[in-house]
Amino acid sequence: MRDSGGRGQGPGRGGGGAGSQGGPGAARRTPGGPGRAGRPGTGRAASPDDPFHLPFGDTPRSRGGSPADDDVPDDDPAPGGPRRPRPGQGRPRRGDDDLPAGGPHADERSRGRTSRRGGSRRGEDDLPAGGPHAEERSRGRAGQRDGEASPGGARGGSARGERFRRDESDHRRDAGPSRGRAGQRDTEARQGDAFRRRPSDTARRPPHDRSRGDGDARGRDDGSARRTQADNPVRRPRDEDAGRARPGEGPRAATRAGTDAGGRGGTRVRAGEGARRDPQDGARRRAGGGHGKSPPPPKPPLVLRLGSPKRRISIGLIAMTFILSIFAGRLIQMQGLDSKVYEAAATKQRLHVEKIPAKRGSITDVNGHNLALTVEARDISIDPSKIPAEVRQGVASLLARTLGRPVEEMAAKLARTDTRYQLLARGVAPPVADRLLKEPVPSLNATSTFRRVYPGGDLAGSLIGFVGDDKDGLTGIEQVKNTALAGTDGELQIETGRDLQRIPMTGSQRTPPVDGRDVRLTIDRDIQWAAQKAIGEQVESAGASSGTVIVMDVRTADVIAMANAPELDLANWREAPESHYLNRAAADVFEPGSTNKVITAAAALEAGVVDSDTVFHVKDNIQCYDRVLRDAHAHPPEDMTFAQAMAQSSNVATVMAARRVGSEGLYDMLKAFGFGTKPGGDMPGAGAGLLPHHDKWSGSQSCTIAYGQGVSVTALQMASVYQTIANGGVKVEPRIVAGTTAPDGTFTPAKPGKKTRVISTATAKEITAMLEDAVGAQGTGELAAIPGYRVAGKTGTANRYDAELGRYDGYTASFAGFTPADAPRLVVLSVLQNPKNGHYGGQIAAPVFKDVMTFALKSRKIPPTGSAASPARAGAEQ
C-alpha cells in the first residue's frame, strides 16, 4: 500500500499524498488542473450548511480574491514542492477534529481511527457525494497520502518545523488540508480533550509536553498558546499561517503543520480564516525575535460554579426540617402545654359581661315620704361620625330643644367626628327619649338606666346629698349610707361576636341584681319645710350670710328637722356652688356666745359653789388678766341672784361663777356635754368643734370660755346640750337615720343613740327654771315666748371669727330652747351668721325659734301642760 499509494491514488484525493508526478494525483495537485487541489490553509468560504461553521467575518481570500489581497506576503514554493492552491481552486477539507464529540459524526471519527490503526480505510464510494461527507472523503484521501508520504516530503516537513522553531519571525504558510495518520490521531486526541476538559485545563499543560507523539512535538512551540485560546470558549484570533507550506517543504510537511496547528493549537482552520488573521501578528512576531516566548494566555473568564445538587437538597431538607420543628413545637405548646391558658383567653375574648344595675334605694322621711327616689330613665348617645356636616347644626338644635341643653353643647358633641360614641344626656325621662328616637336622626341610641329624683327640690338638700354619674353618693346621706342604698349590681354573661352582637344558640349566665335598701330618716318632711322656710326668710331679712335651724326630739335625740339657708337645690346641684354642698348644721363651727352659759351654770351647780339664789355684786365690767370684759349693756353696780344673772345674760356674773368652778372643772363639764367630740348617728358632715385643753387656756380665755367665747362648736352640738338639760341631764347621742327598709318591705330600725348622764335631774330642773326666766318679760328672749306654752331658752350673741379674714368680724346670733318647759318634748336651735340688720340673738334668732317651735308643736300635736310658772321665775318677777 505504501509503494503504490493505495487508495490515495484514487480520483478526487488531495495533493498531500506521495503519488507519482505523472499520475492523476499529480495532475490534481496542479493549480487549475482538473483534479481537486489539496486543502490550503487559507480555508474555504463559510457555508451555511456547515454545522460547525464559526461566524467569523469574510476576508479577501474567502471571497475569492488574489493572494495579493492578503496582509501577509506569500513565500515561493520550494522546487519540487506542491504549488500553492489558488482561491476557489478546491474546496477545503474538514478534518476529524472539526467534528464535535458524540452526535451524528461520532461514527465517522470512529471509522477514521479504525482505518488508521488497521490499515483499512473507508473508500470514497462508502460516503455519499457532496454535503458534509465530501469533506470526510477528502480527509480520507489526505490520510492515505499522509501515510505514503515521500521522504522528501518528510524532510520538508522536518525542515519546516526546525525553521519554525529557530525563527518565529517568518510568516507561517497555510498548511495543506491533507492530514496524515499521525496528525489525524493527534487532532482527534486533542479534540476529545477539548470537549472533556474545562478551558483552564489546557492553559495549565506544560508547553513542551511530548506525550502526544510526533504531531504534538512539531507544533508545541506555538501550539500551546493557540490551544489555550481554542479551548477557551471565547473566540480567539486564528493563526492563518499554520497550514501554509514553506519553500522547500513538501505537501506532507504542510499537512503536518496544518494538523499541528489545528490539533495542537486547538485552532480549526476554515475557509477564509487565513485572510482574517491579525495584520499586526507578523510584525509582532518579527519584533519578538526568533526564540521569544509566546505571550501569556489570557485570563479565563469567571465561571459561575453551581453547588452540588445533592448538597443543596440536603441543606434545603435540613432547613425545612428545622422550620417544621419550630411549628410543631409551637403547636405542641399551644394545644398541649398551654391549652387551658389559650382556652381561657378565647373564652374571655368572646364572653361579654353586661352589668345589670341595681335599683338604688329611696330616702324617705320618718313618715315614709320620699325625699329621694330612683326611677327608670334613658341615657341618650349618638355616633357623631354618621351625622353629615350639612345637617349637623339642625340636629344640634333639635337635640338641644328636646333635651333642654344649650345648642353650643350639642354642636360641640356632634363635632367630635373622631369618636363613634358621644353621650348627649343622662337620666332622660322615658317619654322624652321615646319622642326623640322618633326623630329622623341617624345613629341615635337610648340605653335603659335609672336616675335619681328629688321630689322636694331643695328640701333638706344639703342633708340628703346627691349621687354622681356612676350612681354613687357624693355628699349627705347619699354618701354616708351609700352601701345600703346602692345595693348590688347584677351581671349578664353572654357570648358575643366582633361587633358585640350576641352569638345565636349560645348560653348565658345571669346574676340578678339586688336592689338597694330604702333609708328612713328621722326628719319630718313638714317640720323640715317649716324650719327651712323660717330660717331662709330670716337670713334674707337680716342680711345674714347663712343660717341654721335644728329641731330635735328631747327623749330620743332624733333630729326632726335640719335646715340650712341657703339650701342646695338637688334638681340642679351641678350648677350650685360648692359651698352649698356642705351641711352647715353639722359641719359649720362657731363660737356659741351666751347659749354656752348653761354649761357654766351646770358646772357651778354641780360643784355646789353656787345655787340659784346666790347673790353677786355685779358691775358692768370685770378685769380678767390683761383684758377688761363687759356686759352687753352698761348698768351701774347692782346685786343680783345667780338666777337673775342668767335671765339677764350677765357676762360679769357668769365669769364670777366660773372662777369659783375653776378652769379644769369647766373644761370637764364642756367635755361631758360633747364639746370637742364628733357626734355619731351617721350624721353627714358632722364636726367635732374646737375645745382646747384647759392647760392651754390663756388668762383671758379662762374667763371668756365661761360665756361662750374662745370655744367653737357646731349647731348640732349646741342643740345636744339643750336636749341633755331638757331630758333631765341625760345626754342621748343624736341620730338622723331611723332605720332601713329591705326590698321585701322589712323595716330594720337603727340603733338608738347612746345615753349618758351629764348632770343630775335636780341641776337640770334648776337650770330649766333659770331658762324660763330668760324667756320671761325681764329676760333677753322674750320674742321666743309661745302663748299657752312654757318655754325655756337662752339667747346668744358672740363675736364671729372669720377664717377667710383671719380675725373676728361680725357676729353670730343664736337662740336655743325647749318646750313645754315642765315636760320638754322638742328642742329648737336657730343660728344666723354675720347678720347685718341687727346682731343680737334675742332680736333676730328668737323669732325663728318661735315660728319653728309653734309649727312643730302643732304638727306633733303636743298640747300645753297648763301648769303654772316655776317658783324661781315667780320670785324673780316679784
Does pLDDT of 399 surpass 80? Answer: yes
pLDDT, position 340: 86
763, 721: one domain: yes
The three cell numbers of residue 486 are 346602692
| Per-residue pLDDT tens over the stretch 363-391 | 999 999 999 999 999 999 999 988 998 99
Residue 88 lies in a domain: yes
The residue with greater pLDDT, 262 or 744, is: 744
**Residues 337 and 379 grouped into a single domain:** no
Average pLDDT of the residues in 210-238: 42
Rounded (10°) CA dihedral 843, 586, 462, 742: -130
| CA angle 201–165–257, rounded 5-degree value | 70
The pLDDT value recorded for residue 122 is 41
Burial of 639 (0-12, 13-18, 19+ CB in 10 A): exposed
226 shares its domain with 262:
yes
Q: What is the pLDDT of residues 330-343, one digit of tens each?
A: 888 888 888 888 88
Residue 114 in any domain: the answer is: yes
Identify whether residues 550 and 490 lie together within a single domain: no
Q: What is the structure's pLDDT at 227?
A: 44
Inside any domain, residue 294 = no
Question: Which of the pair, 729 or 71, is modelled with greater confidence?
Answer: 729
- Give the end of a domain, one of 327, 348, 369: 348
The pLDDT assigned to 344 comes to 84
* 379 and 420 inside one domain: yes
Q: Are residues 717 and 768 in the same domain?
A: yes
**What gap in Å lies between CA 681 and CA 394, rounded to an integer?**
54
Q: What is the number of domains present in the chain?
A: 4
- pLDDT the model gives residue 10: 39
pLDDT at 317 over 80: yes
- Percentage helix, strand, coil for the chain under 3-state DSSP, each rounded to 5: 40, 15, 45
User: Could you tell me if 604 and 552 lie in one domain?
Assistant: yes
Structure confidence at residue 210 (pLDDT): 41
- Name the residues annotated as catalytic: 594
Q: What is the pLDDT of residue 196?
A: 46
Q: Is residue 32 part of a domain?
A: no
Q: Is the pLDDT of residue 769 over 50?
A: yes
Q: What is the pLDDT of residue 195?
A: 44
> What number is the average pLDDT over the span 823-831?
96
CA distances from 489 to 357, 360, 485, 524 (A): 5, 10, 12, 31
Domain hosting 325: range is 312-348
Distance CA 425, CA 469 (A): 11
Tell me the pLDDT tens digit for each residue of 657-695: 999 999 999 999 999 999 999 987 788 989 999 999 999
Last-in-domain residue among 516, 541, 565: 516
- Look at residue 55 and tell me whether its pLDDT is greater than 60: no
DSSP character at residue 506:
-
Side-chain half-sphere CA neighbours of 64 within 13 A? 4
What are the cell numbers at 447?
340605653
Rounded Cα distance between 456 and 525, Å, is 9
Task: Label residues 379-415 b or e (16+ Cβ within 10 Å = b).
Answer: bbbbebeebeeeebeebbebbbebbeeeeeebbebbe
**Average pLDDT score, the chain:** 75
Highest mean pLDDT among 103-107, 227-231, 851-855: 851-855
Q: Tens digit of pLDDT for each residue in 434-489?
A: 999 998 888 898 988 888 999 999 999 999 999 988 889 999 999 999 999 999 98
Cell of 74: 506569500
Please indicate, yes or no, whether residues 717 and 763 belong to a single structural domain of this protein. yes
C-alpha cell, 871 = 317658783
Are 275 and 396 members of one domain? no
562 contacts 586 by C-beta, under 8 angstroms: yes
407's enclosing H/E stretch is helix 407-414
**Above 90 in pLDDT, residue 878?**
no
Task: Using pLDDT thresholds of 50, 70 and 90, give the confidence band for residue 190.
Answer: low
* pLDDT score recorded for residue 877: 34
| Pairwise CA distance, residues 188 & 179, whole Å | 12
> What pLDDT was estimated at residue 306?
67
Q: Is residue 8 part of a domain?
A: no
Q: Is residue 302 part of a domain?
A: no
| Distance from the Cα of residue 383 to its chain's centroid | 23
Phi and psi (nearest 5°) for 398?
A: -65, -45
3 part of a folded domain: no
Question: Percentage of the chain with pLDDT > 90?
Answer: 46
Q: Nearest CA to 413 among 438, 434, 387, 390? A: 387
Max avg pLDDT among 218-227, 275-284, 547-556, 572-581: 547-556
Three-state DSSP class for 440? coil
Amino acid at 532: Q
Asked whether residue 711 is domain-assigned, the answer is: yes
Closest CA to 744 of 518, 499, 433, 505: 518
Q: pLDDT digit string (tens) for 566-598?
A: 999 998 998 999 989 999 999 999 999 999 999
Q: What are phi and psi for residue 390, nearest 5 degrees? A: -75, -20
Residue 655 has pLDDT above 80, yes or no: yes
For the question of whether the overall pTM of this predicted structure is more than 0.85, the answer is no
How many Cβ atoms from other residues are within 10 Å of residue 762's Cβ? 12
pLDDT for the residue numbered 604? 95
Q: What's the pLDDT score for residue 64? A: 40
Q: Both 558 and 641 in a single domain?
A: yes
Query: 68-77, 188-197, 754-763: which range is least confident on average?
Result: 68-77
Closest CA to 205 of 187, 193, 195, 214: 193
Of residues 200 and 538, more confidently modeled: 538
Model confidence at 704, in pLDDT bands (50, 70, 90)?
very high
> Does residue 554 sit in the same domain as residue 582?
yes
Same domain, yes or no, for 589 and 611? yes
Q: Region 760-774: what's the mean pLDDT?
A: 95
The last residue of one of the domains, among 288, 323, 338, is 288
CATH number at residue 506: 3.90.1310.10
Q: Residue 605's domain is classified under what CATH number?
A: 3.40.710.10
Q: Tens digit of pLDDT for each residue in 76-123?
A: 444 444 444 444 444 444 444 444 444 444 444 444 444 444 443 444
Question: Is it the case that residue 815 has pLDDT exceeding 90?
Answer: yes
